[in-house]
């Protein structure tokens, strides 16, 4: 039981991190029709700037400043680069963001090196938020914070005790992602700024005729989207690892999230983020193969290990390709995505 609960929470936290990234990409695409190939690079920028500020000013200052810096960089990139190629169509836009991703990668490697850096979370987030204690006699119990080693050991050989901690950094990640989701919803649906943004999406000429600066609205949306990626970078970098390969690690996955959820749909991005996060987390933890399945149902019974790589392939080994399998199936059977309104 504790395995199911902890794995579900780990999957939700990973999915919510993907949503923090994909929400910014979804905003940019829904407003401007630009598929920002360099979006994950702003995730990496947020992590490295957060790491640098953390060593000087502390984590909480870095938590505020790093996303702002990433957002400003994104806004000025839209103003001075992306806007100039917008009139030439989507291919030049994609190519210029593709080039930006490699420029950012090389700059990061020149400034911070090619190896991972140690981005430590603050003391309040170090250690477990709570620990699930599974006792074969007393059942499942929850203990806030860490538990003493004695509580996880049994003097009776017949009693089995398993302690499963849930990291505080993952809990904080979930809290920030949910707060961000609520903030975006309130901004887009309950404020005048949100109404202007939504109107500029469908009727930019009318919005401009009412006195609003549509290019500035687009620049602001692009900046907010990259700031959200920078925020995810600060949290993801301190929770997992901060290295030059981190953008490539999540970059392709967030494009899968956006396509599976539906291009331009924040609700779809939220749903697909949670789906991919949970499925991939459980898949990594399952060490079952096709051979074990066939043996359990009576086929190949008594055969220990046949010389067949496909039969011996475990679910955990194929876990990295599951998001891309979802992508292919969605493109075949539902090109608009789970909740999208336009064809991908």
The pLDDT tens digits for 13-38 are 999 999 999 988 888 877 667 778 89
Residue 30 lies in a domain: yes
Residue 286 lies in a domain: no
> Which residue has better confidence, 235 or 153?
235
The helix/strand/coil state of 287 is coil
CA gap 38, 282 in Å, rounded: 29
Do 227 and 180 lie in one domain? The reply is yes
> Which residue has better confidence, 174 or 199?
174
CA gap 51, 264 in Å, rounded: 31
Do 215 and 97 lie in one domain? The reply is yes
Do 39 and 134 lie in one domain? The reply is no
> Which residue has better confidence, 89 or 23?
23
Do 12 and 117 lie in one domain? The reply is yes
Looking at residue 285, what is its pLDDT? 80
What is the distance in angstroms between the CA of the first residue and the CA of the last residue of the chain?
Answer: 39
Looking at residue 290, what is its pLDDT? 66
Contact 2, 134 (CB under 8 A): yes
Residue 211 lies in a domain: yes
Mean pLDDT of all residues in 286-313 = 65
Residue 232 lies in a domain: yes
The helix/strand/coil state of 285 is helix
Do 157 and 182 lie in one domain? The reply is no
Which residue in this structure is represented by tokens 């600060």? 234
Do 29 and 85 lie in one domain? The reply is yes
Do 136 and 155 lie in one domain? The reply is yes
Q: Which of 16, 13, 40, 11 is nearest to 233 (CA)?
A: 40
Give the sign of the dihedral formed by CA 217, CA 202, CA 267, CA 32: negative
Supply the pTM of this predicted model: 0.87
Specify the DSSP element, H or E, that contains 199.
helix 192-202
Where does a domain end: 112, 137, 168?
A: 168
Cβ count near 319 (within 10 Å): 17
Do 181 and 223 lie in one domain? The reply is yes
CA gap 122, 145 in Å, rounded: 15
Residue 326 lies in a domain: no
What residue numbers bound the domain in which 85 lies? 2-121+169-244
Where does a domain end: 212, 244, 276?
A: 244
Backbone torsions φ then ψ of 307, nearest 5 degrees: -80, 70
CA gap 79, 155 in Å, rounded: 67
Q: Which of 6-10, 27-31, 186-190, 259-263 has the lowest mean pLDDT?
A: 27-31
Counting every residue written for the chain, the total comes to 344
pLDDT at 305 over 60: no
Q: Which of 53-67, 200-214, 220-234 has the lowest mean pLDDT?
A: 200-214
Do 57 and 113 lie in one domain? The reply is yes
Longest dimension (CA), the chain: 79
Distance of alpha carbon 158 from the chain centroid: 42
Backbone torsions φ then ψ of 289, nearest 5 degrees: -115, 170
Backbone torsions φ then ψ of 94, nearest 5 degrees: -65, -40
Q: Sort 284 into a burial class: Cβ within 10 Å, 0-12 / 13-18 / 19+.
A: middle
Looking at residue 299, what is its pLDDT? 64
pLDDT at 43 over 90: yes
Where does a domain end: 244, 270, 288?
A: 244
Q: How many domains does the chain have?
A: 2
CA gap 250, 252 in Å, rounded: 6
DSSP 16-67: HHHHHHHHHHHHHHHHH----TTHHHHHHHHHHHHHHHHHHT-HHHHHHHHH
Do 164 and 61 lie in one domain? The reply is no
Residue 201 lies in a domain: yes
- Confidence band of 262 (pLDDT split at 50, 70, 90): confident
Do 162 and 53 lie in one domain? The reply is no
Residue 104 lies in a domain: yes
pLDDT at 7 over 60: yes
> What percent of the chain shows pLDDT beyond 90?
42
Contact 21, 225 (CB under 8 A): no
What's the token pair of residue 287? 């060490």
Contact 245, 117 (CB under 8 A): no
Which residue in this structure is represented by tokens 């603050």? 122
- Confidence band of 344 (pLDDT split at 50, 70, 90): very low
Do 24 and 151 lie in one domain? The reply is no
Summarize pLDDT for 104-159 with one digit per residue, the tens.
999 999 999 999 999 999 989 998 998 888 887 778 888 888 888 878 887 777 77
Residue 207 lies in a domain: yes
The rounded radius of gyration (Å) of the Cα atoms in the chain is 23
CA gap 92, 85 in Å, rounded: 6
């Amino acid at each position: 039981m504790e395995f199911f609960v902890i794995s579900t929470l780990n999957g939700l936290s990973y999915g919510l991190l993907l949503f923090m990234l994909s929400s910014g990409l979804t905003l940019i695409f829904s407003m401007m029709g630009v598929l920002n190939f360099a979006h994950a690079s702003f995730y990496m920028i947020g992590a490295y700037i957060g790491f640098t500020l953390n060593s000087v000013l502390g984590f909480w200052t870095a938590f505020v400043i790093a996303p702002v810096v990433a957002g400003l960089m994104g806004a000025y990139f839209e103003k001075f680069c992306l806007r100039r190629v917008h009139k030439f169509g989507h291919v030049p836009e994609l190519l210029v963001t593709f080039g930006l991703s490699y420029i950012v990668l090389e700059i990061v490697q020149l400034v911070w090196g090619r190896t991972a850096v140690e981005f430590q979370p603050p003391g309040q987030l170090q250690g477990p938020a709570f620990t699930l204690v599974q006792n074969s006699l007393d059942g499942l119990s929850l203990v806030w914070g860490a538990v003493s080693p004695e509580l996880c050991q049994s003097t009776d050989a017949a009693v089995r005790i398993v302690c499963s901690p849930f990291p505080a950094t993952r809990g904080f990640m979930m809290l920030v992602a949910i707060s961000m989701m609520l903030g975006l919803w309130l901004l887009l649906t309950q404020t005048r700024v949100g109404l202007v943004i939504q109107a500029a999406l469908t009727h930019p000429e009318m919005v401009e005729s009412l006195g609003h600066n549509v290019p500035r609205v687009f620049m602001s949306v692009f900046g907010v989207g990259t700031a959200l990626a920078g925020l995810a970078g600060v949290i993801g970098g301190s929770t997992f690892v901060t290295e030059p390969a981190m953008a490539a690690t999540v970059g392709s996955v967030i494009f899968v999230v956006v396509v599976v959820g539906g291009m331009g749909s924040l609700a779809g991005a939220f749903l697909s983020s949670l789906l991919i996060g949970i499925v991939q987390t459980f898949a990594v933890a399952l060490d079952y193969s096709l051979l074990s399945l066939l043996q359990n149902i009576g086929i190949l019974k008594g055969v220990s290990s046949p010389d067949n790589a496909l039969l011996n392939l475990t679910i955990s080994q194929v876990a990295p390709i599951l998001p891309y399998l979802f992508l292919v199936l969605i493109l075949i059977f539902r090109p608009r995505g789970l909740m999208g309104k336009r064809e991908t």
